[in-house]
């Protein structure tokens, strides 16, 4: 008996020793200084301001597409970036999607794609009075550039063109071919990017780096970490919507029966909201946690993150608490539309609900279906796929790939003391199409604590604009 106690005691001591050693040896990296950024010119600021003033809104109905505005935007590009238009042949695909090709001197290297979209979501008429600037004014004040689209995603498009124009003016010639690809419908169908990739496939083209919008820099998400964190998107969640239909004979509301279609559906939805799909730490999130672990000022958090081999379950539970981090560790499911009833004195025969799911890499639409079926466990509810749009989670880009490393190196050059880590994208971007033609898809723009996406007061720090142009300039220069 005594021997057993001594043995268990020894094991516990060893575990404690390993945990403490791993925690203490996990020291933050040395401070590192970024390079001096190229200055931002007034001309660059004017270009961004002008880009915002051209109202390239994406319509809900493709028939309402405003061709005149998109042509005005094309003219603006041609006028503002003469060297790009003189030296980089442009291919127009499906009217308003552009591919500019900057031929490299070594065609044996697979090209790099810098991409963005220039359509923007509409500004809600009722919300205009809440803005602190004219939504399509392109105003520059209080250190920001204001307006719909300045973040999403004219920041990328205009910065890419500013960088290319400046490099061309210096006579720069890349070794690796660079393609600049711009889409006109990311906020609606994304058909433009699909058509562009189809065009590339028809030419058997592949790319070793594709950089699109997505990940950003944060200095306020984690209170216990004092350094900026640059999250590089390396993969996207999948997407599926299911329709639940409850059916039972309705009738006059003056003589209700025990159960109605609404009751059945409500019970099913309640079951579904009570339970979540199982959580797990997928590779990029694990790497993210490992990379930030040395920098946390919370000792208990540092112990847990430095010893995921022992505390993985506790860490997952912790991440599950906030919606933004819960979405990183599991497939989420939420009802988005509920329909039933036609009159206040009629018990309806049908009740339907649409439930939207964002799928974690490693799982499928079928896994979501099976979970929903098992959780609801009611044969009175029919479950079908809503077939407007559905996609599997994307593969994830390796952090040891040339693509990740090139972007990581550039971020280190433009941000002081930055922690660079991979991240999972919970929403979808145009770049998901490019997974078919590249193993190096990366989602990142060097914008800090961005606010106003799709909402009011969309704005970008002028200093972030400068970072963006420098980011693309360095990516272009790295192709030498
Ligand atoms: Zn976007």
Please compute the mean of the pLDDT values over residues 263-289 and round it to a whole number. Answer: 96
Residue 17 covered by a domain? no
Cβ pair 367, 375 in contact under 8 A: no
Which pLDDT tens digit goes with each residue over 95-108?
A: 999 999 999 999 99
The residue out of 385, 416, 437 marking a domain boundary is 385
Q: What is the pLDDT of residue 1?
A: 66
Identify whether 2 is part of a domain.
no
Tokens of 98: 């552009």
Q: Which pairing describes strands 350-359 and 419-425: parallel, antiparallel, or unpaired?
A: unpaired
438 and 313 together in one domain: no
* pLDDT, position 104: 96
Distance 40 CA to ligand 1 centre (A): 24
Question: How confident is the model at residue 56, as a pLDDT?
Answer: 97
CA of 224 to the centre of ligand 1 (A): 30
Q: Compute the distance from residue 258 Cα to the ligand 1 centre, in Å.
A: 49
Domain check: are 247 and 380 in the same one? yes
Choose, from 139, 162, 165, 186, the residue flagged as catalytic. 186
Q: Name the residue with higher pLDDT: 480 or 159.
A: 159
Residues 276 and 175 in one domain: no
Q: Which CATH number covers residue 269?
A: 3.30.70.360
CA of 298 relative to ligand 1 center, distance in Å: 34
Does residue 452 fall inside a structural domain? yes
Is the pLDDT at 424 greater than 90? The verdict is yes
Q: Are residues 97 and 218 in the same domain?
A: yes
Average pLDDT in the 124-130 region?
Answer: 91
Residue 15's pLDDT is 85
Distance (angstroms) between ligand 1 centre and the Cα of 429 equals 7
pLDDT digits (tens, 9 = 90+) for 332-388: 999 999 999 999 999 999 999 999 999 999 999 999 999 999 999 999 999 999 987
CA gap 43, 82 in Å, rounded: 13
Instruction: Check whether 229 has a pLDDT greater than 80.
Output: yes
Q: In this structure, are 185 and 86 located in the same domain? A: yes
Distances (CA, A) of 422 to 79, 267, 329: 38, 39, 14
SS (H, E, C) the chain: CHHHHHHHHHHHHHHHHHHHHHHHHCCCCCCCCCCCCCCCCHHHHHHHHHHHHCCCECCCCHHHCCHHHHHHHHHHHHHHCHHHHHHCCEEEECCCEEEEEECCCCCCCCCEEEEEECCECCCCHHHHHHCCCCCCCCCEECCEEECCCCCCCHHHHHHHHHHHHHHHHCCCCCCCCEEEEEECCCCCCCHHHHHHHHHHHHCCCCECEEEEEEEEEECCCCCCECCCEEEEEEEECEEEEEEEEEECCCEECCCCCCCCHHHHHHHHHHHHHHCCCCCCCCHHHHHHHHHHHCCECCHHHHHHHHCHHHHHHHHHHHHCCCHHHHHHHCCEEEEEEEEECCCCCEECCEEEEEEEEEECCCCCHHHHHHHHHHHHCCCCEEEEECCCCCECCCCCCCCCCHHHHHHHHHHHHHCCCCEEEEEEECCCCHHHHHHHCECCEEEEEEEECCECCCCCCCEEEHHHHHHHHHHHHHHHHCCC
Residue 257 lies in a domain: yes
CATH code of the domain containing 458:
3.40.630.10
88 C-beta neighbours (distance < 10 Å), count: 18
Could you report the per-residue pLDDT of 184-205, keeping only the tens digit for each?
999 888 899 999 999 999 999 9
Chain segment 58-116, per-residue pLDDT in tens: 887 777 889 999 999 999 999 999 999 999 999 999 999 999 999 999 999 999 999 99
Task: Say yes or no: 323 and 443 in one domain.
Answer: no
Domain assignment of residue 258, given as a range: 237-385
Q: Give the domain-ending residue among 385, 417, 449.
A: 385
Q: Does 290 map to a domain?
A: yes
Q: Active site residue: 57, 119, 165, 185, which one?
A: 119
Going from the Cα of 272 to the center of ligand 1, the distance in angstroms, rounded, reads 31
Encoded tokens for 174: 């890349």
Per-residue pLDDT at 222: 85
Q: Is the pLDDT at 28 greater than 90, yes or no?
A: no
338 in the same domain as 244: yes
pLDDT for 2 equals 78
- Residues 191 and 107 sit within 8 Å (Cβ to Cβ): no
Residue 299, φ and ψ in degrees, nearest 5: -65, -40
Pair 365, 355 in one domain:
yes
Assigned domain for 13 exists: no
> Does the pLDDT of residue 176 top 70, yes or no?
yes
- Using the mean position of ligand 1's atoms as its centre, give its distance from the Cα of residue 13 in Å: 52
Q: What whole-number distance in Å separates Cα of residue 345 and Cα of residue 354? A: 25
* Strand pairing class (441-448; 209-218): parallel
Any catalytic annotation for residue 119?
Answer: yes
Q: How far apart are CA 464 and CA 201, in angstroms?
A: 35
End-to-end CA distance of the chain: 70
370 CA to centre of ligand 1 in angstroms: 32
**Region 457-479: what's the mean pLDDT?**
95
Nearest 10 degrees: Cα torsion 336, 340, 344, 347: -140
Q: Are residues 65 and 179 in the same domain?
A: yes
pLDDT digits (tens, 9 = 90+) for 165-175: 999 999 999 99
Choose one of 351, 385, 419: the last residue of a domain. Answer: 385
Q: Which residues contact 13 (CB under 8 A, 6 or more apart)?
A: none
- Distance between Cα 153 and ligand 1 center (Å): 5
246-270 per-residue burial string, b: 16 or more CB within 10 A, e: under 16 = bbbebeeeeeeeeebbbbbbbbbbe
Residue 186 bears catalytic tag? yes
Question: What's the gap in Å between 52 CA and the centre of ligand 1?
Answer: 14
Pairing between β-strand 140-141 and β-strand 144-146 as defined by DSSP bridges: antiparallel
**Average pLDDT value over all residues in the chain:** 94
Residue 189 Cα to ligand 1 midpoint, Å, equals 12
Q: What share of the chain has pLDDT > 90, as a percent?
A: 83
Residue 201 located in a structural domain: yes
Q: Answer whether residue 246 is part of any domain.
A: yes
Are 223 and 244 contained in the same domain? no
pLDDT over 90 (residue 42): yes
Which has more confidence, 7 or 400?
A: 400
Are 81 and 224 in the same domain?
Answer: yes
Ligand 1 centroid, distance to 446 Cα (angstroms): 14
What is the count of structural domains for the chain?
A: 2
Q: Which tokens go with 59?
A: 């319509």
241 and 230 co-located in one domain: no
Q: Has residue 238 got a pLDDT over 90?
A: yes
How far away, in angstroms, is 117 Cα from ligand 1 center? 7
């Amino acid at each position: 008996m005594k021997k057993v106690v001594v043995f268990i005691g020894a094991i516990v001591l060893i575990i404690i020793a390993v945990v403490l050693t791993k925690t203490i040896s996990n020291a933050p990296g040395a401070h590192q200084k970024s390079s001096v950024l190229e200055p931002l010119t007034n001309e660059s600021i004017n270009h961004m301001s002008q880009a915002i003033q051209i109202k390239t809104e994406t319509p809900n109905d493709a028939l309402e597409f405003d061709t005149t505005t998109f042509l005005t935007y094309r003219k603006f590009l041609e006028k503002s970036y003469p060297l790009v238009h003189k030296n980089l042949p442009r291919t127009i695909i499906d009217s308003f999607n552009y591919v500019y090709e900057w031929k490299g001197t070594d065609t044996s290297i697979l090209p790099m794609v810098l991409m963005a979209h220039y359509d923007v979501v509409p500004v809600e008429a009722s919300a205009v009075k809440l803005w602190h600037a004219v939504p399509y004014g392109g105003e520059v004040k209080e250190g920001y550039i204001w307006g719909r689209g300045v973040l999403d995603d004219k920041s990328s498009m205009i910065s890419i063109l500013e960088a290319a124009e400046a490099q061309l003016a210096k006579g720069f010639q890349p070794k690796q071919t660079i393609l600049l690809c711009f889409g006109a419908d990311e906020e609606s169908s994304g058909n433009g990017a699909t058509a562009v990739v189809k065009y590339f496939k028809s030419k058997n083209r592949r790319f070793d780096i594709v950089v699109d919008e997505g990940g950003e820099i944060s200095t306020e998400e984690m209170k216990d970490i004092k350094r900026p964190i640059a999250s590089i998107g390396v993969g996207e969640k999948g997407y599926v919507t299911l329709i639940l239909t409850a059916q039972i004979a309705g009738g006059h509301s003056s003589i209700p029966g025990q159960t109605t279609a609404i009751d059945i559906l409500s019970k099913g939805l309640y079951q579904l909201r009570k339970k979540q799909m199982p959580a797990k730490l997928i590779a990029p999130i694990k790497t993210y946690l490992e990379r930030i672990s040395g920098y946390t000022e919370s000792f208990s958090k540092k112990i847990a993150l430095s010893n995921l081999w022992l505390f993985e379950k506790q860490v997952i539970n912790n991440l599950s608490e906030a919606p933004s981090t819960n979405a990183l560790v599991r497939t989420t499911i939420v009802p988005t539309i509920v329909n039933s009833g036609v009159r206040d004195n009629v018990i309806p025969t049908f009740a339907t609900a649409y439930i939207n799911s964002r799928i974690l890499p490693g799982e499928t639409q079928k896994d979501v279906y099976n979970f929903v079926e098992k959780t609801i466990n009611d044969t009175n509810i029919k479950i079908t796929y809503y077939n407007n749009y559905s996609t599997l989670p994307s593969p994830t880009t390796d952090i040891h790939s040339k693509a990740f490393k090139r972007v990581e190196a550039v971020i280190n050059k433009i941000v002081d003391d930055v922690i660079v880590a991979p991240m999972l994208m919970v929403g979808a971007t145009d770049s998901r199409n490019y997974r078919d033609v590249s193993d190096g898809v990366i989602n990142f723009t060097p914008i800090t604590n961005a606010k106003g996406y799709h909402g009011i007061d969309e704005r970008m720090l002028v200093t972030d604009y400068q970072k963006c142009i420098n980011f693309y300039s360095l990516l272009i220069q790295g192709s030498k």
